[in-house]
Structures are given as structure tokens and as C-alpha cells.
Amino acid sequence: MKLIRLPLSALKISGQGACDFLHSVCTNDVKGLKPGEGMGAAFLDRFGKVIAISSIHNMNGHYFIISDAAAHKPLMEHLKPSPLDKCVVEDLSGTHISFSSIWCAKRGEIIEGEFSGVKTIEMGNCFIDRSDFLVPKEVAEDFWVLAHEKGTAEDYEAYMTGKGLPEHGKDYDGTYMVLELGLDNIISHTKGCYTGQEIVARMRAYGGEVPRKIVRVQGHVKKGEKLFMNGKEAGFVTSAAGGFGIATAKKGFFDKGTELMTEGGKVVVV
């Protein structure tokens, strides 16, 4: 297990109406999420554009929302409940430090522990096998110092890229639609209304056709380089590490097994 000091967006939503509020503003079925479990979901604006993809954890009385650090500000602006919603959204970045460990967690699992007499929380990320820790600031430095094995930013980059999980602010931004992210199991098509639902339903009704999609490519690619097929521009690479890349591919070029060419003449496979 490699522990990495990784900035994340960590929000707590509590109060009588927390479940109903979350259910109404994200793409997945929060009402069906049992205490002690987690699920992946997306938060969208009214045009169906992605604000954040997040792991949502039911802590049996409140919820934790874990997202990429770059999504923190727009997500905080989006999650502003009214008094009628009967819930409170708290930013935990002022009181906790976030860490992640790679190659170890059961997805969605929640483990409440203790370090130096202070409560810590470990949550299995809902998209890849990664644990996300929330550690109170007063013990965070000791928690880091005593880590059995420390990872680097390069370790994390290679792991995320190899798994094909796009990162906010690097692989996608607020111009992307949720169906363009290439992620499974983050949308409930039976839960009813939520912000952006009409756009998602309309796209699904037309066969889920999207003009572009984020894909994982295998091969030696460089961040920022363009991809081609038969002389036509097919997409561009946003992350690259360890013989894999994350890329945005245009329609007609993102099916699994598609062979594309880099600017340097190397073949990569979707």
C-alpha cells in the first residue's frame, strides 16, 4: 500500500433533508444507498454539463462527498441548499487533510478508525481500487510521517492513467456531458428528476450518441499530443504514464479496439 498526500474535495452533508437534497441534485439513486455504503455519481448543471464526479458515502446520519480537488469550488457553489431543504453542506478542507492509498481498497467500503486518539475515516473510492482518508489536521502530520510506504505524485499519475479514470481540470472540464466521460454505473435512469436529467434522458433516447468520449489508450503517448486515423484528427491525449494514456476521442474513433496513430507515428489502441 502506498500512501499519497493528495488534495481532494471533501464535503459533509447533514440534516433531516440531506438524503432528499442529494437525491435531487446528483445522477445516482442516493435513496437506495444503505448506511456504510458508497456509490459513484455525477453532479450536473441544468444544461447537463459535468460539475463533478464524486464518491458519495452514507455515514448513517450524514453523507461524505469526495471529489477531485479541481471540482471543489464549482461543486460548493452548486450545492447551496435552501432552508426548505433542511440540510447543511460543510467544507471539510479547513479541518481535515486528505490522503489516498493506491492498490488496496474495496470500492465504497467505509472504515472508521482512530489515530492518536482522534477519529479518522477511510473510504473506498467508488470508481477505482483506492482508499481516501480524511484525517483531522491536528494529527495529519504524524499520520503521514508514520506511513509504512509513501507514494509520489508520479505513482498516483501512473495508477490513475492506467485505470483510465479521468480527473477534473486535466482530462475534462465543465464543457463535458456526463455520457462523454466513459464511466459506468453513475446514472440511475429510474430515479426520477435531478438537475440536468432532461438532457441526459434526451441523449439516451437517441441511443446515447455523443460527439466525443473520454477513453483509455494503450501505447506510448505524450500528454497534449493529437491522435489520428487515416490522416483525420481523431482526438487528443490529456494524461500519459506507464504506457497508457487518457484521451478525448471524437465520434467514430472511440470504440474499443480502435487503432489510432500518434503525431510521432506510433500506434495506440483504445
- Predicted pLDDT of residue 218: 94
Cβ atoms within 10 Å of 5's Cβ, excluding its own? 17
Residue 261: exposure state from Cβ atoms within 10 A (0-12, 13-18, ≥19) = middle
- Domain tally, the chain: 2
In a domain, 123, yes or no: yes
In a domain, 199, yes or no: no
- Set of cell numbers at residue 149: 510506504
Residues 13 and 73 in one domain: yes
- Predicted pLDDT of residue 90: 97
In a domain, 198, yes or no: no
- Predicted pLDDT of residue 148: 83
Query: Measuring CA to CA, how many Å separate 234 from each of 95, 185, 240, 265?
Result: 44, 26, 17, 14
Digit-by-digit pLDDT tens for the chain (270 residues) are 789 998 999 999 999 999 999 999 999 999 999 999 999 999 999 999 999 999 999 999 899 999 999 999 999 999 999 999 999 999 998 899 999 998 776 889 999 999 999 999 999 999 999 999 999 999 999 999 988 889 988 888 899 999 999 999 999 999 999 999 999 889 998 888 999 999 998 887 766 678 999 999 999 899 999 999 999 999 999 999 989 999 999 999 999 999 999 988 888 999
- Predicted pLDDT of residue 105: 66
- Predicted pLDDT of residue 203: 83
Identify the domain containing residue 92 by its residue range: 2-163
Residues 222 and 107 in one domain: no
Alpha-carbon distance of 234 to 16, in angstroms, equals 49
Decide which of 163, 191, 222 is a domain's last residue.
163
Q: Is the separation of the CB atoms in 138 and 117 below 8 Å?
A: no
Say how many residues make up the chain. Answer: 270
SS3 assignment, position 58: strand
Residues 150 and 64 in one domain: yes
In a domain, 57, yes or no: yes
CATH code for position 157: 3.30.1360.120
Residues 157 and 215 in one domain: no
Alpha-carbon distance of 123 to 126, in angstroms, equals 9
Q: Is the separation of the CB atoms in 238 and 221 below 8 Å?
A: no
- Predicted pLDDT of residue 194: 94
Cα atoms found within 13 Å of the Cα of residue 115, Cβ hemisphere only: 20
One-character DSSP codes across 207-224: TT--SEEEEEEES---TT
